[in-house]
Amino acid sequence: MMRTLLFDDSGEIWDANSRSLAEALQASLSSDELAKYVVRNLGFISAAESVGSVRLRLRPAIVSPTALSALCYWLHDQTIERVLISFLDGEWTHELVRTCEEAVRALLARVKFSAADREGDFLHLSKPLHDLPGTSHCTPCSRPGRSRAANSTASGCSRFWIRPSTVASCCSRT
């Protein structure tokens, strides 16, 4: 009987057939669909084990370094005759190796962890608060007598408040 485990971005191991992961992610997908989704989109690693064999599935471009570390520790605790590694790089490619050590080498050769290799993984850019549009939910503090552009530690207030107006300004508390 084949058992499938999922290694998440915090190093936790989940049983792919359990509803606990779906509940934690508040997902309505079936266990098979959820396993495919988290590998494809969240950087999880899937490990399906059967007698003496393991099939790994991962997407090297977004795989979590923590998930990979947890997988490596788990692999070294297993008695394995062969490992089939399926990599999703646009399309699935497969590599069959004989030992855990070969599997770890193959994984480390395909997964990139330097900042340059992972550039573009996240769509987050820093933006000063005074550059936010007037319709933003986050607004720099505007105590009387201060302009938006002057909100810095030099002017005494670098905090911001969140709209709607039911949330008090940061400067109303002393």
> Which residues touch 35 (CB under 8 Å, ≥6 apart)?
4, 6, 16, 46
- Tell me the HSE value of 173 on the side-chain side, using a 13 A CA sphere: 7
What confidence score (pLDDT) does residue 34 get? 86
Q: Which helix (H) or strand (E) holds 65?
A: helix 65-76
Predicted confidence (pLDDT) per residue in 125-169, tens digit:
566 666 666 665 555 555 554 444 444 444 445 554 444 443 444
Predicted confidence (pLDDT) per residue in 81-99, tens digit:
999 999 998 899 999 999 9
What confidence score (pLDDT) does residue 53 get? 93
- Contact between 161 and 167 under an 8 Å Cβ cutoff? The reply is yes
Residue that wins the pLDDT comparison between 53 and 113: 53
> Which residues touch 147 (CB under 8 Å, ≥6 apart)?
none
Residue that wins the pLDDT comparison between 44 and 171: 44
Predicted confidence (pLDDT) per residue in 36-68, tens digit:
988 998 899 999 998 889 999 999 988 989 999
Work out whether the CA dihedral 111, 66, 22, 48 comes out positive or negative: positive
DSSP letter, residue 96: E
Q: How far apart are CA 161 and CA 167, in angstroms?
A: 7
Residue that wins the pLDDT comparison between 2 and 7: 7
User: Which of 30-34, 92-96, 111-115 has the highest mean predicted lDDT (pLDDT)?
Assistant: 92-96
What confidence score (pLDDT) does residue 52 get? 87
Give the CA diameter of the chain: 73
**Residue spans per domain, the chain:** 3-110, 126-174
- Contact between 57 and 71 under an 8 Å Cβ cutoff? The reply is no
